[in-house]
Amino acid sequence: MSDSGDGRRSRSECVLPLATSRLDRSHVSAPVLERDIARDAVLRRDLRVEGVVAVASLVLSLSQFLTGRLPSAFDSGVYFAASSEFVNGHLPYRDFAFVQPPGGLLLLSPWALIGRWTGLPFAFTLARGCSAVVVAAVAVLISRLTLSYGHRTSLVAGVTTALAPTAVYEMTSVKLESYCLLLSLLATWWVVSADARVPRNLRRRMVAAGLVMGFAGAVKLWAFLPFVALTACVATYGPRLVSRFVLWAAAGFALAVGPFLLVTPSTFFEEVVVAQLRRTHNALGQVGMIERLSQMTGLRQTPFALNGVGLLVLYGVVAATILGALVLGGPRGLVDRFFLGATVLTLAALLGAREFYAYYAYFLTPFAVGLVVTSAVRLWRWSSQWRVASLRLRPRGLAAGSTALIVLAAAGCAFSFYSVHRLSEVVAGPTPPASIGRYIAPGSCVVFDDAIQGVVSNRLISSSPSCPVVVDPGGLAMVLGGQDPLRSIALARTWRHDLLGARYVVLAGLTPLGIPWSRSLYRWFVARFRVVVNQITYVIYRHV
């Protein structure tokens, strides 16, 4: 899986020759000219590898449009609806509950602005396409980070990340994990590719990496895990550079969070920090460790799902590979140490979190793929000293074997994609149709218990300034409901106020995830609202 010779060099060494290759080289000596030409050829090969990785991911993401349904619709609706309300003048934490930092809301704002002129459905489709590009960029960055191990290693790591079944939700939905990972890996790339022999360049890289990593934390607090791993890597450069990196990371986080924090400091802290810390178990019950390990493979809802023995074998082989590389693989570089730290921290956090859903595993996938692939290559190199010449694989045979494995993995993952996609339709139900717009006039005051319905029907934004703004019923339950939302008086009182202020109410179902449907609240509601239309996936009520 590794290349020899110039295949094991830093990508940063190829940046300068790219510029010089476009100049007149007539005055350059023959050895220097040959070296520059060789480096240009290597750079072109690097770009081809990254192009294959990006195309593989984007082609798979295009398959989402073969079905009219959206996996993980609830979270996608919440994030895009929050951004849409924001660009229409409503502030999160002040005008509506939002339990995530504001970074993701800011990143989605350009698409929400487009939605003001084109309508939310079209803008949401653009946001989904952008999410697919971000997932592809994450795979390309993994390919770059593993490039020092050779082109074949880079290709395997990138394609595996791009086609992993855990990427299905990320590439088809509007989620925050992919944006957070993209920023974290970009900061990591800037650090590991910096030339330590040029102090000025190194200091600039630390500033840029710190700012980007800080903004990643403003997208999702889980960025703290790769931040810790990267900080440990930066520490090898000395206390001055690590303090510079940490301070600029704090500055990047403060620049994104500061304006919102200054407007409503107590509410911001309550929703983003306190509500997250007191998260309860999943609504359908606690997810055990074995079930979490199964879902982390991304195969849980596919024909390739592993039983207990299969999981034991899989994780045993992975652990043996990583431990073998640590003991026998020789010295580790910054990339190896980052992958190890980020994987261990993220795995521990996923296993220890109170609330766990399958798509959380995507945050682990790039780190784990990078760690396993590089560990396998290091073990392969170590074992070469013990293999007799007759048993050594020829480069062509190794390349053919690697290509065959990549093709098989791509075919398996593509099949997994369709399996997960179709099963997710059964679990989440079909995406609410735009037919809601036929029963509700534009600009009407509507309260949705599932924001994706307002986005798809283009009825989310009201022209009435007094209309209640409800974006995330689940987040509101986390903030006001505490450990038992169904018995929360404050949560029930808030919902009475919001429902009473609406002309229409669109409900996806009487679910405990949002509105606390007690007997008294239900009787109060049916006395004031009448059914306009009752569909399979939604019911429209009108205030009487």
- Residue 112: both structure tokens together: 């929400």
Of the CA atoms within 13 Å of residue 39, those in its CB half-sphere come to 20
Can you give 379-445 as a three-state secondary structure string? HHHHHCCCCCHHHCCCHHHHHHHHHHHHHHHHHHHHHHHHHHHHHHHHHHCCCCCCCHHHHCCCCCC
Burial class (CB in 10 A: 0-12, 13-18, 19+), 66: exposed
Q: What is the mean pLDDT of each run of 10 residues along the chain (544 residues)?
A: 44 41 48 49 68 80 63 84 95 94 95 93 91 92 91 87 81 88 95 77 90 96 95 91 95 95 93 86 75 84 78 91 87 89 95 86 93 90 66 54 60 57 46 74 92 90 92 88 78 92 85 75 92 85 92
- SS3 label, residue 507: strand
Alpha-carbon torsion (207, 210, 213, 218), positive or negative: negative
pLDDT value of residue 402: 59
d(CA 454, CA 448): 7
What pTM was computed for the model?
0.85
Pair 181, 363: CB distance under 8 Å = yes
pLDDT value of residue 65: 61
pLDDT value of residue 441: 92
Cβ-proximal residues to 319 (8 Å cutoff; 6+ apart), any chain: none
pLDDT value of residue 13: 41
